[in-house]
Structures are given as C-alpha cells and as structure tokens.
C-alpha cells in the first residue's frame, strides 16, 4: 500500500482523493518539472529521461519506502512484456471500441486522454487514489475523472501517464448503422456509468463520484433515454415554434445562437425515478431500478425560452401550457413529449432554457444534442431532449409521459384501480437528499469518518440544512453544505454536503441516515413504504446506508 | 337520547352535526312555520302558541317516541322554575361578562343570539347535535356555531330558542380600563376558544369545530397575540408608509378603502407553533402548547400591498424586504415587527393584502383591527396585526420575532449552541395536515367511522392528496378533499377532508394517522422527534390519534 497512514475518511478501502495535496512536490515543484505539453492534450512522443528525472525529484520529497515501491511499479511498467512507448511515431491506432474492450485487469486496463491511448494495468495497484477509483475509468476516457479530481491536472501527473502510452485513437469513428438495430447509432458512452438498460440507454453516475464535483462532468452525467438517440445534422436542424397567431416559426441552431442572448443557468436534473431501487425492494414496480445516481448538476447555456416565446408573439399574461416534442421516437413513430406551465416558461425568474451548451461544451448526443429544454426545478422528464417542436395551448401535453407516467399516487393505488387523471403531472419535485459515501455495506474504520452526499429541492427552494444521523435517526448532526450561493427562489442547483464525524471505539456497525430541509422548511419522510407508488417515482425518504466498522 | 339510531360517524359520544337534515320537516316545512323574525336578530317578545304549532307539525314527521321525549324537554323548559319569557317587555338586561359566568350546567348555561340572552340549561341534554357541542357555546354567542352548522339558521330553530329567552344584552359595554393591568382593555372573547394563555391572549379553535366549515367564523378563529390588544380609534388611525423617495405617506382607513381597489383572498393562517404540544411531549420547549387548532381559514378583504407600495413609488423589480410594525407593544415600548420578501409583496400572484375585512365583517380587535397584513402562504407571524408602519429596505426586519424567533433548527441545536443567524426566518410553511375528528382518546363504535381533518401547504402549493391510515401507517386510504378550487400556485386556503371508513368487528383500538401531499409532491415526515427543535415550531409530522373501539 502506497500511503500507510490511515485515510482521512476512515474507509478500509483505499480512497484518498487528496493524496497529491499531501505530496511535498506540489508545494515545491522541482525545476526539472518545468516543461510544456500540448494545450489540447496532443500526442506525446518523448518519454525517455524526463520521467526518471521526475522520479528522482519526487523521491527527494517522499518517504524512501514509498518511492521505492512506486519506482518498482514504474520499472515494471517499462519491462518488455508491457507495450513500451517508442521514441517516436508511429504508434498503433485504436478505435474507442477497441479501447473499451480493455476494461479490467484481466483484459488489461486501457484509458484514453486526448487522442492518446494508455495501458495503465501496472499502475492500477499503485494508484494513490485507490484501485477502485482508477478502475472506474477502465476502457474509457480519463477526462471526466480529472474534471472531478482536479489535482490530476498537473504536469508531473501527465508525465507519469506518458510512460504508459501504447497507441493513439483513430481520428474519426463514423457511426456504423446496423439495419435492424434502432440503437446501432447510439453514441459511445463512458464505461464508468452504471447501466440500468442498454437499449434504450439508461445509466447513472457512479455513486462514489456524485459528490466529488459540484458540476457533474458531461460524460458522467446520468442518462435517461426513452428511445434511440436521434442522429441530428446541426446544419439542417430546425426547431419549429408555433406562434401565437398560429403560424410556425422555424429556427436553425444558428438562429437560436445569434438572435437570442445566451443565458446560463446552473441546474440539477433529477429523474422522477431516482432511488427507485429502494421502492422496488419493498414491492417491485418492474421499472428501472435507479440507485441514488439518477441526478446530476451542470452549467447550461442557451436561449431563454421566454425570449423565443416572446418572439413568437406570446405575452407574459397568457395562460396554459408549453408543450415540447423531441426527435426521439419509438418504432411506431410516437415521439417523446411533455409540457410545463406557461407561467413557469414566461416567468423572469423561471430561467427556462433552450440549451445548446452543457458545462461549456456542445450538448452531448445523450443529453439532447443539438437542443434541449432545461426547466430548472422541474422533474427531468419535462426537460425534453433533441427538441423538435414547441406549441402553446390550454392543455398539458397529451403524451403518454405527461398523462400516464411521471405522476405520484397513494400507496393504496394499484394497477387495477389507478385513475391517472386524479393526480397532477409531476413538475416541481420534493426535497431530496442521499448519502454517496460511504456506500451501502462498506466497512469503515473507527476514528474519523467522512460522510458525503447531495441535497436538492424542486421549485427553486434552496436546501438550508442537511441532518445526518449515525444511529439510524435517533440523534442528528448538521452537515457542512458546500453549494454555491444562489438567488432566492431560484436555487436550481443542488448542495453537496459533508459531515466529518467520529466513530467511537467499539462500534460494530452503523445506520447512517440523511435528511434535508428546504427553504419552505419541507422535510423528507422517514421511510419509503408510506410513499411507495405503482410508478416507483418520487422516492424522497430519508436515505439510509448501513456500514460495518472494522480495522483497516 | 333523542335519536336512537346509531350516529353516522360511529362515535360513542353524541355527535350528530347533520341531525336537522335528517328531519322530514326540513324537506316539507309546514305552512304554520311561515313567519318573520327581525332581520338583525332583534328581540322577540311573543313566544306563545306558535311554538306549540311547530311541535305538532314536527310530530307528524318524526317517530312518536322521539317527539314525546323532545316534547317533554320542551315542557320542562316552560315550567315555573325556569325563567319563563314574559308576554312583553321589559326583560332584565345583562352584560356579556354576566352572561359569560353562566358557562356550565352547574352555573346554568346561558347563550346570546343577537342582543337576546337565553338560558338553555334544560335543552342541553336534548340537543340533537350532542351535549358536548352545545356546551361549547355556554356563556357566549351562538352565531359562530350557527355559522358552522348552517342548519340552525331556520325559523323553527329560532322559535325553539325563543322559548328560553331570559334577558337582553346591555346595549353598550365600553372597556373599563384598570390601571396597572395592560390587558384590561382586551376584548371579550368567545368562551369556546381553547385558551393557552390569557395575557397575552392565545387561544385556538376547538379541534372538533375546525373541519366543520371551510371559513372559520371570526369569533372562533385562533388568536395569537404577543401583547395587549391595542385600542385603536378608526377615525384617527393612520398607516405610515415609507415611500421610495424616503418621505412618509400617511394613510387613513378611509384612504385605504377609497384610493385602492378592494381585493379579496381566501387564505389560511397558521401559527408556526401549531401542534407544538406534540413536540413538548417529547421534550418540553416551555413555549405555548398549541394543539392542532392554531390554524384557521378566512376570506380577507383589503387593499393590495403592491398597490400601496406602487403608490409609494416602488417598482416590481426592486429588491429587499418589506418590514411591518404593529401598534402592539410590550411595557418597554418594543413593538411587534416582521418582514416578508419584497418580491412576494409585489408579485401579481402574491395576493398580499392590507386587510380591513374578515369574512365580510370589520376586522375583529383580536385579529388586528383596524388593519393587518395578510401574506397568503406565509407563516402567521409575518401577517402583522394592528399595522402601524411599512418600510422597505435591503434587510429583513430587525425585530426579535424575525431574527430570534420563528426559525427552524436541527434537533441537535440547543440553547447553548444556537446560532440564530444560521437559519432563515420562516416564510413559506411546509405541507401540514391533522385529524380533527375523532379526538385523541375517543371511543368509536364498530361499523362506519368518519374521520375529518384539514390539510394545507405554504407558498400557494395546493394539497393534492390526503392519505389516512387506521392501522398506524401500515396501510392507507385516500380521503375525500372538500376544498374550493384555487388558482395554480395560489392555493392559499386549506383543504378540509373526510374519510368514511369501516371499523371491522373485533377491533379494540386504532391508531388513526393522516399525511398530506402538496403540488410539489412534498410529504410530511413520519414522526415528531427528528424535527423537534428548541423553538417548537414547524411540527408537520404525520398527525396521529389513538382511539378505542367500543359499543355505543
């Protein structure tokens, strides 16, 4: 084990996200580390002596045993049985699919960074942040993780990585449509995502990564698709907006970008089915068994929906609903649709976007490229992706997903007696929180314990407090909230939280529980059963994680 | 017992609010009942034979045994030992205080209606609605009860009452200030109110009356005073409004009524401490032990605050807080104060009133005469009564009640470690519900059971569902909601609800539980302990009533 002192958070598993901050070289970088790399993470063809220089410099600042162990791993990486970096081109060229096959220690662990491919199998055990964390990247790109763990973005880390280069990515991988498989043109996904269903693609952020960064990297943002991902040519794409006079306004992507000011909003999206697995454990709903990761947070950029509706002739005092249709559809041609209240769409405080940017990048295909609705504070299902059409009318969307799904019912309602018209379509969501670390069943160490998680409420209601219990809800501690400042009534983004607690000697197990309170002082219900419902939506009960306590 | 068939709601106690609807004469009033009474409930001096005619007519439609029992009571009421109504004036004259002393069967049961005084002691046992209900009126006015139970407002009922007249109210009862008692000029209150403290006066609506009427009669509306009730001369009263330019606008009551359109809003007010008794039962907060009755609903009329603020030069886009000061003050001269966000005050959907009317009547003294704030959806404490002054500024009110009270804390916070600045002042309130019938410890009958209660949520969030459990929360039934239609996002008024359920034979006891869900799908927490707080506010846990089941 590389660092022998107990981890800060007391987990028995290796889990040290702050390891580099503890290394002396970070504070006093040796002069030999001053070099340059390509700004856009281009290929590197010179590994050679520079790596050895770094090792020596690092050795000066770290314990000798540590460095010897580290050096041993690095030497083994350079042995002939490992593909060694050549002094110059050419490197073999691999597709992303080929890289993706190397997703375990058995198949060797390959990762990409920029357009380079690395075999890091021999580094896995030595990874100071823990084997489990680095394996999340196996077969995929490092960038989403380095966005979470910003300490990696330093030259000496890049230099270490460089020693493991085995190839380069093929520059273009056009989709290969397979007749008969409507999902054949779905995009490549990051292998770290926890997949619920592959077709349609539904996957959540790995829970241990959720609370690592306020903004979820795009590749790790949860994905909730109902159908195949539409293939859209941005050059010919048009958004159809029904004007108040009844005519249709057709807008290209360039029209949206040029004719309307860009507005940016940080907003959390949550699937109505987030945490459904806990409901399924009580009585199976036979619907996607989401864990706590069907929620993510991003900075969105786009045109304000109210600007576009104003251009289409609508006035703030008008009434009704704004209905959206996507380009995604089933094999019978039924397109996905949903609506939000006109009042929300037109409110100066509503911040509803037609978004084409996500965390400063072009909207990824899985997240709605080229254009999606971002209706902050409102359930994910109304944030229609691959937006094709906007209409305004007196009625809500007549789609299945507005009328016969994404509604909440009493636990007494069954499929035999359900009256879908009796419950309103979910818009705002209730106050929610979950523990993301430690995970269920983890073994934690006596002494210091760090509990992490997220909390969020719908309707712009800020989370004002998170209470954490280590004894199943008998006593409570206040967690430290680390969310950003938000405007009153427009708190669209989650709060991440952390509790540094003490596990008393002699403790054998713990029931860790969290509950959040929002600005309307709404509380979460204690248990899942009384809010269980046939659709398995709206699980906002206290989140509970049972852990055992043992020695490291 | 007058009506021998089992009561509709299955209670063992007499409790039949719908008795008159079941009486045939209501559907077919005999011709002899067509007479006139004074429109303003003036005095009646002719009882005589008409009463006997009514009894005969009624006898034709009711079971003979019933009528005989009824007639016997009526005859006894006319015996010489009971003060009999004279054929003409004069009746003795009594003050309301004198009437109030006759508030039990031991001291004889007197009530007033209009300006007449009645001794109904001998009718109490015969009251078809039950002895417990009629005794709520003992020593006070009948009007608030007849507002709840509208079936009383029929001529034959007035005629029955007439037989018990013993006097008339003295026409004027000017307050008698007692030097040294700052509460000496407090108004007379209805004796049915459940008093928590007399000075200052804090009293709640009797729980069994709460769900009887959508609009709570003024006399039974809960009262929450911090200080003596100010004595205000409406002719000289002035509201001081700080204008945006810094000058002060002084408005008389007539100015408010004439210069600004009257706006009406039905809104529920709830004290932050409603249901504190349940918190005190866990750990005493040493604060007022409110039951479930620190909540009431009324139709308010007044000027829109936003109209007055616009007149004072404020614009909708301005920011900050609107601070209110009342005329009520402690002996050191500290006045009550509170504030609401400027945005709420100016929002076209905020419906914030400067109210001078309550249920179509002049605002009663206990409820803020001559002018109070009605900030719908917001905790009672910000709805400042006896309004004296309005200012607008960047900060919330600096009053004790905004800064050091009416805030929510974690159960882990104690008086030793509380940081008042760490919690926001309560504005919106969380979703709430309570059972008002049956009462705790009641004995209900096997068979049909009617459970009644109220449900409300802050911020204009409509209550969309109330779930009721008869087995402590294991299984649930949906209650029937009987609230009026309200605008989306502006559901300021409560929903009353009712569940007609069946108590299976053999049941010995029941844990009746209710929980409500609001339009944001917020749920109530299951239990009180995890939301207990040092101020004893915001108890929105499931409400639980334990009853035993027995034979009538």
* DSSP-derived secondary structure for B243-272: -TTS-EEEEEHHHHHHHS-EEEEEEEEE-T
Candidates A413, A459, A489; nearest CB to B520: A459
pLDDT tens digits, A80-101: 343 444 456 689 999 888 999 9
What per-residue confidence (pLDDT) applies to B241? 98
Give the integer Cα–Cα distance in Å for A71 and A57. Answer: 12
The token duo for A491 is: 């708190």
Residue B69 has phi, psi (to 5 degrees) of -60, -40
CA-angle at B306, arms to B300 and B311, nearest 5°: 120
Q: Which of B211, B241, B273, B266 is nearest to B435 (CA)?
A: B211
d(CA A499, CA A433): 14
**Cα–Cα distance measured from residue A534 to residue A409, given in angstroms and rounded to the nearest whole number:** 7
What are the structure tokens assigned to B24, written together? 């045939």
pLDDT in tens, A400-432: 999 999 999 999 999 999 999 999 999 999 999
In the DSSP assignment, the letter for residue B458 is: S
Task: Evaluate whether B312 touches B242 at the Cβ level (below 8 Å).
Answer: yes
Residue A56 C-alpha, separation from nearest chain B C-alpha, in angstroms: 50
Whether B127 is a known active-site residue: answer yes
Q: Which residues contact A177 (CB under 8 A, 6 or more apart)?
A: A184, A185
The helix/strand/coil state of B283 is coil
pLDDT tens per residue across span A121-160: 999 988 877 888 888 889 988 887 777 666 777 777 888 8
Angle, helices B48-61/B155-162, rounded to nearest 10 degrees = 130
Q: How near does any CA of chain A get to the CA of B239, in Å?
A: 29
| Lowest mean pLDDT segment, chosen from A14-23, A540-549, B105-114, B218-227 | A14-23
Beta bridge partners of A497: A453, A481
**How many other β-carbons are positioned within 10 Å of the β-carbon of residue B526?**
25
The three-class DSSP label of residue A299 is strand
pLDDT band at residue A54, thresholds of 50, 70 and 90? very low
Average confidence (pLDDT) over B404-412: 97
Q: At what angle do helices B48-61 and B64-77 cross, to 10 degrees?
A: 160
If DSSP states are collapsed to H, E and C, what string results for A418-459?
CCHHHCCECCECCCEEEEEECCCCCEECCEEEEEEEEEECCC
Quickly state the pLDDT bin for B127 (edges 50, 70, 90): confident
CB contact under 8 Å between B464 and A527, yes or no, is no
| pLDDT per position as a tens digit, B500-548 | 999 988 899 999 999 999 999 999 999 999 999 999 999 999 999 999 9
Q: Residue A79's pLDDT is what?
A: 40
pLDDT at B217 over 90: yes
Alpha helices in B333-491 (DSSP H): 342-346, 400-403
Q: Which residue has the tokens 């995929």?
A: A140
Q: pLDDT-based confidence at B326, cuts 50/70/90?
A: very high
Instruction: For chain A, give the mean pLDDT.
Output: 84
Q: Which two tokens stand for residue A450?
A: 């760090």
Q: Give the residue on B whose Cα is nearest the Cα of A317.
A: B348
Section A482-500 average pLDDT: 94
The dihedrals phi and psi of B256, each to the nearest 5 degrees, come to -65, -35
**What does the pLDDT read at residue B180?**
77
Measured from the Cβ of residue A134, the count of other Cβ atoms closer than 10 Å reads 21
Q: Name the percent of chain B lying above pLDDT 70.
A: 81
CA distance B227 to A522: 30
Please check whether residue A330 is in contact with residue A288, taking contact to mean a CB–CB distance below 8 angstroms: no
Which of B423, B424, B521 lies at the smallest CB-CB distance from A429? B521
Domains in chain B, CATH or no CATH each: 16-169 (3.10.120.10), 238-422 (3.90.420.10), 432-549 (2.60.40.650)
pLDDT of residue B504: 83
Structure tokens, A310: 């104003």
Per-residue pLDDT tens over the stretch B224-246: 999 999 999 999 999 999 999 98
Contacts of A143 (CB under 8 A, 6+ apart): A113, A217, A219
pLDDT at residue A36, rounded to an integer: 27
Whether B299 is a known active-site residue: answer: no
Q: Kindly state the percentage of chain A with pLDDT values over 90.
A: 69
In the predicted structure, residue B478 carries a pLDDT above the cut 70: yes
| Candidate from A287-296, A473-482, A504-513, B53-62 with smallest mean pLDDT | B53-62
CA nearest A272 in B: which residue? B521
**pLDDT value for A165:** 92
Tell me the pLDDT tens digit for each residue of B16-36. 333 323 333 222 333 322 222
pLDDT digits (tens, 9 = 90+) for A376-394: 999 999 999 999 999 999 9
Give how far Cα A325 sits from Cα of A339, A372, A381, A385, Å. 9, 10, 12, 8
Strands of A116-119's sheet in order across:
A93-94, A165-169, A116-119, A110-113
CA distance B483 to chain A (A): 15
Q: Are strands B116-119 and B165-169 parallel, antiparallel or unpaired?
A: antiparallel
Query: In whole angstroms, what is the distance from residue B370 CA to residue B232 CA?
Result: 7
Residue B214 known to be catalytic: no
Q: Is there a catalytic annotation at residue A514?
A: no
CA distance B526 to B543: 9
What is the per-residue pLDDT for B2? Answer: 31
The pLDDT of residue A148? 65
B341, B413, B476 ranked by CB distance to A412: nearest: B476
DSSP, collapsed to helix, strand or coil, labels residue A329 as strand
Q: Which residues of A touch B411 (CB under 8 A)?
A: 467, 475-476
Residue A220 corresponds to which tokens in the numbers above? 């790790």
Active site residue A127: yes
Give whole-number Cα distances, B518 to A321, B461, B488, in Å.
20, 6, 12
Exposed (0-12), middle (13-18) or buried (19+): which is B185, by Cβ within 10 Å? middle
Averaged pLDDT for residues A2-28: 31
Query: pTM of the prediction?
Result: 0.77
Give B55 or A362, the one with higher predicted confidence: A362
Contacts of A521 in chain B (CB under 8 A): 408, 426, 428-430, 538, 540
Give the residue carrying structure tokens 């004007």.
A243
Q: Collect all residues with Cβ–Cβ distance below 8 Å to B52 and sequence separation of at least 6.
A: none
Across A245-255, average pLDDT = 96
- How many C-beta atoms surround the C-beta of residue A316 within 10 A? 14
Residue A108 pLDDT > 80 = yes
Pair of tokens at residue A398: 């007549």
Q: A409-423, A431-445, B132-146, B447-461: lowest mean pLDDT where?
A: B132-146
The answer to whether the CB atoms of B538 and A525 lie below 8 A apart is no
Running DSSP on this structure, what letter comes out for residue A407?
B
pLDDT of residue B176: 57
A295 and A270 Cβ atoms separated by less than 8 Å: yes
Please report the pLDDT score of residue B46 as a whole number: 35
Question: Alpha helix locations (H) across B435-490?
Answer: none
Q: Which residues of A touch B (CB under 8 A)?
A: 341, 343, 408, 410-413, 423-424, 426-431, 458-459, 464-465, 467, 473, 475-478, 488-489, 515, 517, 519-527, 530-531, 538, 540
Average pLDDT rounded to a whole number, residues A452-460: 98
- Cross-chain residue pair B465–A527, CB shorter than 8 Å: no
Is this complex's ipTM strictly greater than 0.95? no
- B contact test, residue of A525, A538, A539 with most B CBs within 10 A: A525
pLDDT of residue A178: 62
Query: Are the beta carbons of A146 and A212 closer than 8 angstroms?
Result: no
């Amino acid at each position: 084990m590389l660092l022998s002192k107990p981890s800060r958070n007391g987990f028995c598993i290796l889990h040290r996200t702050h390891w580099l901050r503890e290394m002396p070289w970070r504070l006093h970088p040796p002069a030999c580390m001053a070099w340059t790399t390509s700004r856009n993470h281009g290929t590197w063809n010179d590994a050679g002596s520079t790596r050895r220089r770094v090792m020596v410099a690092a050795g000066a600042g770290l314990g000798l045993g540590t460095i010897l162990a580290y050096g041993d791993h690095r030497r083994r990486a350079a042995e002939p049985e490992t593909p060694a970096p050549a002094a110059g081109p050419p490197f073999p060229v691999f597709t992303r699919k080929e890289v993706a096959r190397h997703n375990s220690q058995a198949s060797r662990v390959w990762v990409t960074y920029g357009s380079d491919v690395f075999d890091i199998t021999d580094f896995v055990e030595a990874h100071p942040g823990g084997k489990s964390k680095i394996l999340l990247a196996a077969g995929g790109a490092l960038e989403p993780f380095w966005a979470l763990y910003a300490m990696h973005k330093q030259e000496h880390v890049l230099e270490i990585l460089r020693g493991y280069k085995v190839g380069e990515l093929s520059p273009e991988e056009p989709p290969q449509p397979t007749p008969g498989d409507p999902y054949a043109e779905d995009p490549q996904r990051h292998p770290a995502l926890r997949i619920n269903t592959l077709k349609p693609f539904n996957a959540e952020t790995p829970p241990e990564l959720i609370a690592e960064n306020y903004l979820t990297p795009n590749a790790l943002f949860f994905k909730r698709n109902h159908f195949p991902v539409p293939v859209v040519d941005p050059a010919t794409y048009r958004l159809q907006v029904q004007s108040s006079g009844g005519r249709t306004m057709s807008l290209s992507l360039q029209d949206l970008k040029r004719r309307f000011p860009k507005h940016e909003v940080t907003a959390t999206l949550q699937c109505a089915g987030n945490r459904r697995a806990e409901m399924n454990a009580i009585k199976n709903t036979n619907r996607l068994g989401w864990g706590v990761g069907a929620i993510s947070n991003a900075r969105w950029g786009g045109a304000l929906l109210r600007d576009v509706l104003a251009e289409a002739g609508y006035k703030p005092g008008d009434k009704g609903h704004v209905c959206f249709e996507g380009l995604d559809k089933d094999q019978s041609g039924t397109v996905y649709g949903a609506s939000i209240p006109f009042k929300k769409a037109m409110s100066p405080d509503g911040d509803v976007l037609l978004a084409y940017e996500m965390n400063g990048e072009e909207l990824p295909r899985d997240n709605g490229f080229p254009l999606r609705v971002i209706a902050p504070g409102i359930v994910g299902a109304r944030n229609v992706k691959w937006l094709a059409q906007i209409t305004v009318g007196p009625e809500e969307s007549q789609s299945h997903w507005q009328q016969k799904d994404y509604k909440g019912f009493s636990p007494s309602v069954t499929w035999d007696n359900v009256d879908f018209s009796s419950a309103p379509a979910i818009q705002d969501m209730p106050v929610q929180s979950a523990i993301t670390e430690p995970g269920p069943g983890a073994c934690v160490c006596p002494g210091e314990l760090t509990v992490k998680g997220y909390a969020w409420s719908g309707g712009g209601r800020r989370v004002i407090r998170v209470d954490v219990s280590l004894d199943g809800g008998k006593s409570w501690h206040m967690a430290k909230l680390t969310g950003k400042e938000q405007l009153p009534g427009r708190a669209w983004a989650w709060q991440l939280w952390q509790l540094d607690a003490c596990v008393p000697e002699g403790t054998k197990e713990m029931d860790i529980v969290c509950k959040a309170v929002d600005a309307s002082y709404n509380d979460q219900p204690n248990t899942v059963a009384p809010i269980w419902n046939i659709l398995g939506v709206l699980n906002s009960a206290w989140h509970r994680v049972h852990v055992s306590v043992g020695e490291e």
